[in-house]
Amino acid sequence: CLERSLLNDADLREATYDVEAYAKRGWLCGAWLGAVDWRNKDLWGANLMDVNLEGAKLKGATLNCANLENARLANTFLSGACLDNAILCGADMSNAQLLSISLRNANLTGAIIQGANLTQADLRGAEYDVDTCLKLGFLKDAKIGAVNWAGKDLSGANMPGCDLQNSTLTDCNATGANFEGANLKSAVLDGTLLC
């Protein structure tokens, strides 16, 4: 039994264990797991704080309500995974494949997403660094939902194909912004500078 065990920096890359049970009990926190193949695993509510999953295959995995705070997820394949209500604060998701991922109501505060592919990601209700995502084009084709970005500087923002239906974008500076193919149906744009 690993109850109350500390696995910080323990190298479990070649170890054999019950993935779902260990992850859900928090027994893998801080461990170096590496490029595991957890495709389509049910890891709902898993506690994977501080784990190193660099290069892991998590395509289609269910990680709803999971705690991945400060996890190292660089170069992971999370396309099609569901991380609704997950905690990803401070997680390193650089260069991760997040195509069609569901991150509804997830907390990505302080997450590193440089080079990540968030195409068609569902970010409705999620907390993330909006300015960085807009400037670097991380929100291409993303489902953002009805956000209130009133007064926000959107100049040069790169968000082609974004779903911003019912959003409030009043009094924004959107000069040079790329909204090509974006869904702005019922969006409020009063006072927004678009040229």
Q: H/E/C letters for each residue in the chain?
A: CCCCCCCCCCECCCCCCCHHHHHHHCCCCCCECCCCECCCCECCCCECCCCECCCCECCCCECCCCECCCCECCCCECCCCECCCCECCCCECCCCECCCCECCCCECCCCECCCCECCCCECCCCECCHHHHHHHCCCCCCECCCCECCCCECCCCECCCCECCCCECCCCECCCCECCCCECCCCECCCCECC
pLDDT of residue 135: 78
pLDDT of residue 185: 96
Measured distance CA(175)–CA(195) in Å, rounded: 5
pLDDT in 10s for each residue of the chain, 195 residues: 555 566 778 999 999 999 999 999 999 999 999 999 999 999 999 999 999 999 999 999 999 999 999 999 999 999 999 999 999 999 999 999 999 999 999 999 999 999 999 889 999 999 998 888 887 888 889 999 999 999 999 999 989 999 999 999 999 999 999 999 999 999 999 999 987
CA distances from residue 32 to 29, 37, 39, 67 in whole angstroms, order as listed: 9, 14, 18, 16
Asked if residues 122 and 102 have their Cβ atoms less than 8 Å apart, the reply is yes
Residue carrying structure tokens 């997450």: 111
Question: Comparing C-alpha atoms, which of 181, 143, 186 is closest to residue 168?
Answer: 186
Asked if residues 147 and 168 have their Cβ atoms less than 8 Å apart, the reply is yes
Structure tokens at 14: 């070649």
pLDDT of residue 5: 62
Q: Which amino acid is at 8?
A: N
pLDDT of residue 2: 56
Residue carrying structure tokens 């859900």: 24
